[in-house]
Amino acid sequence: MFAIRRILGAFAVASSLALTSSSVAAQESSEVLRVVATLPPQAGLASQVGGDAVQVDCIARGKENLHAVRLRPSHMVSTHRADLFVQVGLALEHAWVPGLLEASRNSRIANDGPLNIGTGWPNLVEIPLTLSRTEGVCVHPLGNPHVNLCPSFGAFAARKIRDRLKSLRPELSEKFDANCAAYEVRIAERAKRWKRIAALLEGKKVVQYHKEFSYLCIACGIERCGALEPKPGVPPTPAHLAKMAVKMRDDGVKVVLRGAWTPLRLAQDAAARGGAKAVEIPVMTEKGETWLDFMDRAHETLLEAWDLTLPEDGLNMKLADD
Amino acid sequence: MKSISNITPSLSLLVLASVLGAPEALAQDSGPEENSPVGLLESPAMPRIYWGQTSRFTNSFNPAIGMAFDASLINMDSDDEDGFDARLNLAEVTMQGPLSPNWWGGFALETNSEEVALTESALYYTGLGDRSAIRAGKFFADFGKQMQIHVHDLDIPDRPAVLREYLGFELPGTGIQYDHWSPIGDDTAFRFSVGLFSEMSAHDHGDHGGHDDHEGHDDDHGDEHGGVEMHMEGGYRDLSDMIMTARATAMTDVGTNGVFQIGASIKTVPDFAFEGEGENDLAEEVEFEAEGLDQSVTGFDLTYEWNSDDGMSGWTLGGEFVRVSGDVAGEIVNDETALVDLEVFNGDVQGYYAFAQHDMDDTNSFGVMISTFEHLEEEAPEETETSIYWNHWPTEYTRLRLAAVNVDSEEEEDSQALVFQLNGWFGAHGHPYNW
B433 and A99 within 8 Å at the Cβ level: the answer is yes
Question: Which candidate in A5, A70, A80, A108 is best for mutational testing of the B interface (most B CBs within 10 A)?
Answer: A70
Q: Which residues contact B285 (CB under 8 A, 6 or more apart)?
A: B277, B278, B279
What pLDDT is stored for residue A107 in this prediction? 87
- Give the number of beta-carbon pairs within 8 Å between A and B: 126
What pLDDT is stored for residue B204 in this prediction? 63
**What ipTM was reported for this prediction?**
0.83
What pLDDT is stored for residue A201 in this prediction? 97
In a domain, B128, yes or no: no
A80 and B130 within 8 Å at the Cβ level: the answer is yes
Whether residue B4 sits in one domain with residue B82: no
Domain ranges of chain A: 30-128+150-186, 192-310
What pLDDT is stored for residue B213 in this prediction? 44
Q: How confident is the model at residue B32 (pLDDT cuts 50, 70, 90)?
A: very low
Q: Mean pLDDT score of chain B, rounded to an integer? A: 83
Closest partner residue to B253 (CB to CB) among A17, A73, A261 is A73
Cα A75 from Cα A67, distance rounded (Å) = 16
Whether residue B231 sits in one domain with residue B348: yes
CA B120 to chain A, closest CA, distance in angstroms equals 19
Can you list the residues of chain A whose pLDDT is less than 50?
1-4, 7-8, 11, 19, 21-29, 314, 317-322
Closest partner residue to B244 (CB to CB) among A7, A18, A64 is A7
A73 touches chain B (CB under 8 A): yes
What pLDDT is stored for residue B56 in this prediction? 74
Q: How many domains does chain B have?
A: 2
In a domain, B183, yes or no: yes
In a domain, B351, yes or no: yes
A1 touches chain B (CB under 8 A): yes
A:224-263 residues touching chain B, CB 8 A cutoff: 233-235, 260-261, 263
Whether residue B168 sits in one domain with residue B286: yes
A77 and B183 within 8 Å at the Cβ level: the answer is yes
In a domain, B180, yes or no: yes
Fold for A192-310, please state it: Rossmann fold (3.40.50)
Cα A301 from Cα B267, distance rounded (Å) = 58
A:158-197 residues touching chain B, CB 8 A cutoff: none
- If you compute the radius of gyration of chain A from its CA atoms, what whole number of angstroms results? 23
Tens digits of residue pLDDT in B255-299: 999 999 999 999 999 989 998 887 766 677 778 888 899 999 999
Tens digits of residue pLDDT in B194-248: 999 998 877 665 566 555 543 333 333 344 555 688 888 777 888 999 999 999 9
| CATH, residue B287 | 2.40.160.10
Find the helix or strand (DSSP H, E) in which B302 lies.
strand B285-307
Domains A30-128+150-186 and A192-310 fall in the same CATH topology: yes
What pLDDT is stored for residue B321 in this prediction? 98
In a domain, B93, yes or no: no
Whether residue B71 sits in one domain with residue B55: no
Question: Among A283-292, B147-156, B336-345, which stretch is predicted with the lowest mean pLDDT?
Answer: B336-345
Return the closest-CA partner of residue B165 out of B379, B374, B413, B415: B374
Q: Identify each DSSP E strand in B35-127 by its residue range.
A: 64-78, 82-100, 103-111, 116-125
Q: Is A182 left (phi over 0), alpha (psi -120 to 50) or beta?
A: alpha
What pLDDT is stored for residue B109 in this prediction? 95
In a domain, B120, yes or no: no
Please give the residue of chain B at the shortest CA–CA distance from A104: B131
What pLDDT is stored for residue B339 in this prediction? 62
Whether residue B176 sits in one domain with residue B243: yes
Q: Are B344 and B328 in contact (CB under 8 A)?
A: no
Whether residue B71 sits in one domain with residue B43: no
What pLDDT is stored for residue B255 in this prediction? 93
Whether residue B226 sits in one domain with residue B331: yes
Over range B298-315, report the average pLDDT: 95
In a domain, B15, yes or no: yes
Pairing of strands A255-258, A115-116: unpaired
What pLDDT is stored for residue B235 in this prediction? 76
Tens digits of residue pLDDT in B367-426: 999 999 999 988 899 999 999 999 999 888 899 999 999 999 998 889 999 999 999 999
Q: How many CB atoms lie within 10 A of CB A264?
A: 11
Pairing of strands A205-208, A255-258: parallel
For A30-128+150-186, CATH number? Answer: 3.40.50.1980
Cα B215 from Cα B239, distance rounded (Å) = 30
Domain that holds residue B6: 1-62
What pLDDT is stored for residue B396 in this prediction? 85
CA B371 to chain A, closest CA, distance in angstroms equals 28
Q: How confident is the model at residue B38 (pLDDT cuts 50, 70, 90)?
A: low
A:36-55 residues touching chain B, CB 8 A cutoff: none
Tens digits of residue pLDDT in B399-414: 999 999 999 999 888 9
In a domain, B98, yes or no: no
Whether residue B397 sits in one domain with residue B254: yes
**Residue type for position B201:** S
Q: Mean pLDDT score of chain A, rounded to an integer? A: 88
The fraction of chain B above a pLDDT of 70, given in percent, is: 81
Whether residue B292 sits in one domain with residue B213: yes
Over range B332-344, report the average pLDDT: 72
Whether residue B223 sits in one domain with residue B160: yes
CA B362 to chain A, closest CA, distance in angstroms equals 9
What pLDDT is stored for residue B120 in this prediction? 94
Task: Report which DSSP code applies to B212.
Answer: -
Describe the crossing of helices A173-201 and A153-168 by its angle, rounded to 10 degrees. 170
Whether residue B158 sits in one domain with residue B58: no
